A and B are shown apart, each in its own frame.
Chain A
Amino acid sequence: MGHTIIEKILASHAGIPECNPGDFVVADIDFAMLTDARAPGAMKAVGQIAETPLRFAPKTALILDHYSPPPHKEAAQIHATLREFAEHTGATIYDIGEGICHQLLPEKGHLTCGDLVVGTDSHSVTYGAFNALGMGVEGTDLTAAMAYGKLWFQVPPTLKVTLDGALMPGVWAKDVTLYMLGELGAEGTNYQAIEYVGSAVEAMDIDDRMTLCNHAAELGAKAALLEADAKTVQWLTEHGARSAEPITADRSAQYLKQLSVNTAELTPQLARRHEVDDIICVSEAAGQKIQAALVGTCTNGRLDDIRQVAAVLKGHRLAPGVRLIVTPASRAIYLKAAQEGLIETIVSAGGSFESAGCGTCISVTGHFTPGNHETIISSANRNFKGRLGNDHADIWLGSAATVAASALRGVITDPREIDHVNWSQL
């Protein structure tokens, strides 16, 4: 019997010829990641095995991204503890402003095709864009990984989703993944792995593929994996990754279910307030007033996204009474946006930039807290009530293009209506 990508990655890391859904395996960890948000729990767990050497700490990155920059002394103290921990253990540390964990791990060359990576964040599924298995864990697991280099896993069944059909200009991976949420529901793939294949996936660049895999966390998936192609290998090589040995699914692999989506028919999608799976077409919400707009986060804070914002705003001004914040996913993206002149365009139009990090996605820095009865449109991945620190505000989710078009007009707007942008050139 053939095997899916996740079955092959887990079997090879467990040192066994094969494994099947439902099996428990103990598998080698290639790389581990700890964010400042989960550092207190991890440090408590480290304390529980204080005498055990953390032999695998050099294969761990500590990322100061949630409290970036620290909004209070407790956060600053967590950062100080992590800097000291890195010095003692040989773990790599990325300090504030360097970027969001899920952007930094691939960007800094820490992972390659076929790797097994764990991180203390649910969006660790993003690494599937590189044909690597990324899974979210907590402090105990992370500590066990740093000490012993292995963790236990249950092999999940795999759902195969074929995305066929060229996306219309102005439609992005974000719209595809929001559509999937509408179809399958939040937690609709709880305890399953997803494999995305098809011509739409092949046509996507790396930025869009990362968005596609990242949002699988909202679907409840244990992992979302893509096969690697020349684009993947080139990107990894350019970013200093170890040489890639792509893992492919066998033709005779057994899937829990197979789904097909005609992506050529998709229009820009939106998640309505409070629920990630309350999905409508952008056109159905046209005219809904907004007060604040965000482009950023590990879902959509990459160069492609910032280019879309600049294309919409070039030579224009934000609608009166609308604030737009852009948070690049990493310092490298921030710099590239500067070099391309995107920052000048966006700031001239009335937008603002925040340092690279997670602060505007969840109310940890308090820099994007809405007022009562305000409506926010965001390129982030979650819109739960109160996520930005105010239960009396609504958060809607859309692509960077939809967010920018809405910020320009002051009402939710289908980006394809913005005549001065040639979406097919972006």
Chain B
Amino acid sequence: MVLGDHVNTDIHCSTKYMPGKDSAFIVEHAFEKLDPNFPMQAKTLREAGRTIILIAGRDFGINSSREQAAQILRDIGVAVILAPSFARAFFRNAINNGLALITAPIDGIGAGQPLCVDLASGRITLDDHSSLEGSGLSDVLLDIVSSGGLLAYLKQHNGWPTSKGRVSAAP
């Protein structure tokens, strides 16, 4: 599923601008202002048990600080988001809530196109066997995401598992 540049996730998938609505309501209406078919397509994929990979433009999550936006994306069934860049607060909140964020060029990826993402290396392989190079998640972020989020990860390991400070160097 494909979204454009500079998407403020607080506006499209949090209750910040929809006071009085609950998370379930937002899940049914998220991103409909950008793409009226989004909620229904997402629902179909979710109910079919498919993994949703969201393709977004530059600065995805810009001006958004609400953790709820990341939680709602997860409830929608999104597991992975590919974008050329993410806003800082959104990046934190998404990882902490178990979403895999890969910073990558998204040129040429179409809606509905099957693709395979290596979360560690960031390599995206398309169904025509072409590939795009993104930056993958460092070990600790990958572990947090695979555990389902920061608190689940810490609970599982009874705290931060390593006394070593640096968890991975820049790629």
Contacts and interface: CB of A to CB of B under 8 A. Distances in A.
Interface of A: 11, 13-16, 19-27, 41, 45, 48-49, 52, 122, 136-141, 143-144, 147-148, 150, 152, 155, 187, 190-191, 220, 222
Nearest to A42: B67
B88 interface: yes
Contact of B141 (A16, A21, A152): A152
B170 A20 contact: yes
A187 B68 contact: no
A155 B138 CA distance: 13
Interface stretch (B44-52, B73-81, B146-154): B146-154
Contacts of B168: 23-24
Given A26-B165, A41-B68, A148-B159, A140 B150 contact: yes
Interface in B55-86: 59, 62-63, 65-68, 85
A11 B169 CA distance: 12
B9 interface: no
B166 A25 contact: yes
Contacts of A144: 96, 150-151, 154
Given A22-B170, A52-B155, A11 B165 contact: yes
B130 interface: no
A147 B154 CA distance: 9
A26 B97 contact: no
B115 interface: no
A186 to B, nearest CB: 8
Nearest to B67: A138
Contact of A23 (B65, B154, B160, B169): B169
Given A137-B92, A141-B96, A27 B151 contact: no
Given A140-B97, A144-B150, A148-B160, 12 more contacts: A20-B169, A22-B171, A23-B168, A24-B138, A138-B65, A138-B96, A140-B96, A152-B141, A152-B144, A152-B150, A190-B87, A220-B88
B165 A25 contact: yes
Contacts of A45: 151
Band of interface residues on B: 35 or more
28 contacts: A14-B165, A15-B163, A15-B164, A15-B165, A16-B164, A20-B170, A21-B170, A23-B166, A24-B167, A26-B140, A26-B160, A26-B167, A27-B165, A48-B152, A52-B155, A138-B67, A140-B151, A141-B96, A144-B150, A147-B159, A148-B160, A150-B160, A155-B170, A187-B62, A187-B87, A190-B59, A190-B85, A191-B88
A52 B62 CA distance: 33
A14 B159 contact: no
Contact of A143 (B88, B151, B152): B151
B34 interface: no
A140 B165 CA distance: 20
A150 B138 CA distance: 17
Contacts of B65: 122, 136, 138
Contacts of B171: 22
B60 to A, nearest CB: 12
A220 B91 CA distance: 13
A138 B89 contact: yes
A141 B88 contact: no
Contact of A141 (B62, B150, B164, B167): B150
A49 B151 contact: yes
Contacts of A136: 65, 89
Contacts of A25: 165-167
A148 to B, nearest CB: 5
Contacts of B97: 140
A288 to B, nearest CB: 26
Q: Of B63, B154, B162, B165, which is in contact with the most chain A CB atoms at under 10 Å from its CB?
A: B165
B112 to A, nearest CB: 30
Contact of B154 (A14, A20, A49, A122): A49
Contact of B67 (A11, A19, A41): A41
User: A-B pairs with the 7 shortest C-beta distances?
Assistant: A14-B165, A22-B170, A138-B67, A16-B165, A15-B165, A140-B96, A24-B138
Contact of B149 (A23, A26, A52, A140): A140
A150 to B, nearest CB: 5
Contacts of A148: 154, 159-160
Nearest to B157: A148
A141 B92 contact: yes
Given A24-B138, A26-B140, A222 B88 contact: yes
Contacts of B149: 140
B166 A19 contact: yes
Contacts of A23: 166, 168-170
Q: Of B63, B67, B68, which is in contact with the most chain A CB atoms at under 10 Å from its CB?
A: B67
A152 B140 contact: yes
A242 to B, nearest CB: 21
Contacts of B63: 187
A190 B170 contact: no
B140 to A, nearest CB: 6
Interface in B107-153: 138, 140-141, 144, 149-152
Contacts of B165: 11, 13-16, 19, 25-27
Given A141-B96, A152-B167, A190 B141 contact: no
Q: Of A24, A48, A137, A141, which is in contact with the most chain B CB atoms at under 10 Å from its CB?
A: A24
